[in-house]
């Protein structure tokens, strides 16, 4: 029962300390796990040239055509180059 002397405020027995400690532990765990990830940067593309992100979209149809370093490739050809099934022109 709330009393007028308490100002009608409910008192909750929880503090922010367990939350802060949990966030600290989670942050340390995330930093530790990123050290175990591979050395590849997911934001920087890697692979054989030409890569589709380095090319200009020429025709948005089926199959899509791209211009890379003055040469025209289809999306299938770029995929084959990336997978190593055919050499680059």
pTM of the model: 0.48
Phi, psi of 67 (to 5 degrees): -110, 120
| pLDDT tens string 2-29 | 555 555 555 555 556 777 888 888 888 8
| pLDDT tens string 34-74 | 665 555 556 666 778 888 888 999 999 888 999 999 999 99
Q: Residue 61 burial by CB count (10 A; 0-12/13-18/19+): exposed, middle or buried?
A: exposed
């Amino acid at each position: 029962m709330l009393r007028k002397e308490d100002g009608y405020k409910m008192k909750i027995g929880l503090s922010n300390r367990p939350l802060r400690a949990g966030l600290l532990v989670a942050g340390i765990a995330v930093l530790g796990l990123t050290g175990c990830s591979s050395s590849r940067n997911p934001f920087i593309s890697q692979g054989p040239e030409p890569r589709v992100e380095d090319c200009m979209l020429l025709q948005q149809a089926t199959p899509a055509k791209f211009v890379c370093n003055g040469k025209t490739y289809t999306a299938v050809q770029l995929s084959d180059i990336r997978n190593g099934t055919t050499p680059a022109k």
